[in-house]
Chains A and B, each alone.
Chain A
Amino acid sequence: MAIPAWARSVVWGAGAAAVLLAVLALARPGMLDGRAAALLAVWVLAWAVNARLAAAARGRIARALVAVLFGATLLALWEMAVRLYAVPPVILPAPTDVARAFAASTPILWADFVQTFLKGALSGYAIGCAAAFATAVAVDRSPFLQRGLLPVGNFVAALPIVGIAPILVMWFGFDWQSKAAVVVVMVFFPMLVNCVEGLKATDAMQRDLMATYSASYWQSLLKLRIPAAMPFIFNGLKIATTLALIGAIVAEFFGSPVVGMGFRISTEVGKLRLDMVWAEIAVAALAGSAFYGLVAVLEKGVTFWHPSQRGR
């Protein structure tokens, strides 16, 4: 059998796209014509290049290239689809329109970013995570409280806490303080559960060693148990990054000053200026990934000894 793996992969990619087009055509029968064929051709061509690259790829740069190429293909298809089918910009603007709006209104976007991310999300994130860590250390000495708090924390962490936003906006006013308060409540429980789990992560042998050194409670906490808890703590910190941004933006839908990402999104939707909305979404996406990336880099530095970080 001389069919190379990448050729099978091309067939798979083309087949998946054809199925997707067929499903779309069921919804809108007038869609299947030369324009759909053009889109399909671009997709299959790009996918074939990707499949060849993936089959030959060795090393990190080649892997990154495949992913970037895939993302670029999706953007190109989006642009082509909008232009070919003449989709009105009030429904879906083309990526180039979004980029133009982004470039034209950077001062507004920056002001929104400062209001929502730096003031609302970041301060709430810091307060909430610090409070959760302090609570975990305080509870740590009482196994009774731990047994009670862990199930409650796990339960609360699965609840739609974002719903508390209208209440906190009533309490703390429209400015960033209420957004920070929402973020504090949202990040607290996931963080608490992870910290409590992390402080339990040492085994008896390690604790015995500290005891033979005659280490005090605080010494063994600082030198053994908190370092050992770091992988768990960073897991909580990473989950909390996304929650913080979500909380800060959603809280703005319940009332905000005339600046902020959530405020901008809701007012620009009202004005049907969707290119601006997408630019704001791009800011949120960039801020979210950058924040997460920053915490991940910190994690790599702090927990270099952990098996999940070694040998990469």
Chain B
Amino acid sequence: MRAAVPVLTVVAAILALWYVAAVGLNAQWTRDQAARAGVEVGWSGIARDAMVQERPRLPAPHQVAAEFWRLTWGEEVEGRRGIVNTGSLSNRSLIYHGWVTLSATALGFLFGAGFGILLAIGIVWNRATDMSVMPWAIASQTVPIVAIAPMIIVVLNSVGISGLVPKAIIAAYLSFFPVVVGMVKGLRSPDAMQIDLLRTWNASGLQGLWKLRLPASMPYLFASLKVGIAASLVGTIVAELPLGGAGLGTRLLAGSYYGQTIQIWATLIAAAILASVMVGTVGVVQRATLRRTGFR
């Protein structure tokens, strides 16, 4: 727990900065209101008002926290359409929208990572595949694919593919190449000694893959899985922008259309929690796997 105190200090500093910025950014509105009403307003009045504005330029952290609570627990447990009263998630709650985003991300990530691992095995096994595909796989990392995700969604929608699948395609695509690149590196990580040892035991290519290369690649695989799942989530959220319907990305766009700043920030918090849960899950699997393969 040596890291806890410094981390908490930094977080507290960020929150303090946030409050100061909220007062500074929201001051103009209060001054305008006061000028219209013909009253003087001092800094204490501005600061008090900045904490409770309905559509602030920058909502204070406690406002965001309250909104987040209202849109999750409040909506589901006490709301008219929440899970307690109707048995299904309310379409206004962030839990519902987060679930929509999570399912698309997870589906795409599983497919993308799976195909990525298969292609990486193909690349290591076959020289022609390596020389043909690898340069493109590396170059594709430099292309801002996420940015064109909404357009791919619109096109797929016009062909009649809608719902979960188009978002999952984007998520799969984004996790695919990091996994390929990382996995190829990992499968090639055994050194000449280890490969020679397997040869002296007359191991077949398949045995070499299964007993040496795959276990040796695990640290690389998990490092790129973490990158890939974060990229998948960004891709899904961006892909949801043009869709309407459900999902965290849709909520972001709706919030920006109607100037609901507090709602945007609450949605961002939900996205952040989702991201850390997913990366954390990969981390847990990583620790279990690495312990079994003897890395730790």
B144 with A253: CB separation less than 8 A: no
A16: B residues at CB distance < 8 A: 122
Cross-chain contact A66 with B132 (CB below 8 angstroms): yes
Instruction: Please tell me which stretch of A95-103, A167-175, A210-218 contacts chain B, meaning at least 4 of its Cβ atoms lie within 8 angstroms of it.
Output: A167-175
Choose the segment among B68-76, B81-89, B153-161, B286-294 that binds chain A (4+ C-beta atoms closer than 8 Å).
Answer: B153-161
**Chain A residue with minimal CB distance to B278?**
A158
Question: Contacts A159-B271, A241-B142, A274-B155 known; A147 to B6 CB distance under 8 Å?
Answer: yes
Q: In the complex, what distance in Å separates the CA atom of A284 from the CA atom of B264?
A: 28
Once A12-B122, A162-B146, A242-B142 are accepted as A-B contacts, the answer to whether A54 and B154 lie under 8 Å apart by CB is no
Q: Which residue of A lies closest to B134 (CB)?
A: A67
Number of interface residues of A (CB under 8 A): 66
Which residues on B sit within 8 Å (CB–CB) of A285? 143-144
* Residues on A with beta carbons closer than 8 Å to the beta carbon of B106: none
Q: Is the CB of A91 within 8 A of B155?
A: yes
Chain B residues 9-26 with CB under 8 Å of chain A are 9-11, 14, 25
CB distance from B277 to the nearest CB of A (A): 11
- How would residues 273 to 311 of chain A score, 1 for a CB under 8 Å from any chain B CB and 0 otherwise? 010010001001100110111000000000000000000
Distance (Å) between the CB of A264 and the closest chain B CB? Answer: 10
Q: Is A13 within 8 A of B6, CB to CB?
A: no
Kindly provide the distance from the CB of B119 to the nearest chain A CB, expressed in whole angstroms. 10
Cβ-neighbour of B10 out of A13, A70, A152 (below 8 A): A152
Contact with A along B134-150 (1 / 0, CB 8 A): 11100101111011101
Q: Which of A193-201, A220-228, A243-251 contacts B (4 or more CB under 8 A)?
A: A243-251
Choose the segment among B40-48, B213-221, B232-240 that binds chain A (4+ C-beta atoms closer than 8 Å): B232-240
Assess the A145–B147 pair: CB atoms within 8 A.
no
Q: What are the residues of chain B within 8 A of A144 when measuring CB–CB? A: 6, 9
Q: Who on chain B is nearest to A87 by CB? A: B159
CB pair B126 A162 closer than 8 Å: no
Binary per-residue interface labels of chain B (107-132) against chain A in the complex, 1 for a CB within 8 Å, 0 otherwise: 00000000000000010001111111
| Chain A contacts for B7, CB-based, 8 A | 147-148, 151-152
Asked if B6 contacts A158 (CB within 8 A), the reply is no
**A54 contacts B237, C-beta separation under 8 Å:** no
The answer to whether A170 touches B57, judged by C-beta atoms less than 8 angstroms apart, is: yes
A266 within 8 A of B: yes
B132 touches A70 (CB 8 A): yes
Query: How many chain B residues touch A (Cβ–Cβ < 8 Å)?
Result: 63
CA distance A159 to B264 in the complex (A): 15
Q: Are B9 and A148 in contact (CB under 8 A)?
A: yes
Given contacts A67-B136, A152-B10, A159-B272, contact A167 B264 (CB under 8 A): yes
Contacts of B237 in A (CB 8 A): 160, 162-163
In B159-176, the 8 Å CB interface with A consists of: 159
Complex interface: stretch among B29-37, B190-198, B255-263? B255-263
User: Chain B residues with Cβ under 8 A from A9's Cβ?
Assistant: 126-129
When the two chains form their complex, are residues A51 and B128 in contact, meaning their CB atoms are under 8 A apart? yes
Measured CA separation A164–B155 after assembly (Å): 26
Tell me if B148 and A281 are in contact (CB < 8 A). yes
Evaluate contact between A289 and B142: CB separation under 8 angstroms. yes
B111 to chain A, nearest CB (A): 12
Contact status of A163 and B2, CB under 8 A, knowing A66-B132, A70-B136, A284-B147: no
Quick check: B147 and A262 within 8 Å, CB to CB? yes
Asked if B207 is at the interface (CB within 8 A of a chain A CB), the reply is no
**Residue in A12, A160, A166, A292 with the greatest tally of chain B CB atoms within 10 Å:** A160
Instruction: Provide the residues of chain B in CB contact with A256, threshold 8 Å.
Output: none
* Residue picked from A152, A163, A261, most chain B C-beta under 10 Å: A163
A71 within 8 A of B: yes
| Chain A residues, CB < 8 A from B25 | 171
Is the CB–CB distance between B142 and A169 below 8 Å?
Answer: no
Which of chain A's residues has its CB closest to B241's CB? A253
On whether the beta carbons of A148 and B10 are closer than 8 Å, the reply is yes
B275 within 8 A of A: yes
Distance between A18 CB and nearest chain B CB, rounded to angstroms: 15
Residue pair B10, A149 in contact (C-beta under 8 Å): yes
CA distance A254 to B253 in the complex (A): 7
Tell me, in angstroms, the Cα distance from A146 to B5 when the chains sit together.
Answer: 12
Which of B127, B139, B144, B255 is close to A5, meaning CB atoms less than 8 Å apart? Answer: B127
Alpha-carbon separation in the docked complex, A271 to B131 (Å): 39
B252 at the interface (CB under 8 A from A): yes
- Decide yes or no whether B267 CB sits under 8 A from chain A: yes
Which partner residue on chain A sits nearest B140 by CB separation? A285
B103 at interface (Cβ–Cβ under 8 A)? no
Q: Which residues of A contact B234 (CB under 8 A)?
A: 160, 162
Residues of A contacting B133 with CB < 8 Å?
70
A76-119 interface (Cβ within 8 A of B): 90-92
Which residues of B lie under 8 Å from residue A254 when comparing CB positions?
A: 253, 256
B131, A246: Cβ atoms under 8 Å? no
Which 10 A-B residue pairings sit nearest by Cβ, starting from the closest? A148-B6, A166-B256, A70-B132, A249-B147, A148-B10, A292-B142, A54-B128, A67-B135, A147-B6, A245-B144
A-B contact pairs, 14 of them (CB 8 A): A9-B126, A16-B122, A50-B132, A91-B158, A151-B3, A159-B276, A160-B271, A163-B267, A166-B252, A166-B264, A245-B147, A254-B253, A269-B150, A281-B148
Task: Report A's interface with B, CB cutoff 8 A.
Answer: 5-6, 9, 12-13, 16, 47, 50-51, 54-55, 57, 63-64, 66-67, 69-71, 90-92, 144-149, 151-152, 155, 158-160, 162-164, 166-167, 169-171, 241-242, 245-246, 249-250, 253-254, 261-262, 265-266, 269, 272, 274, 277, 281, 284-285, 288-289, 291-293
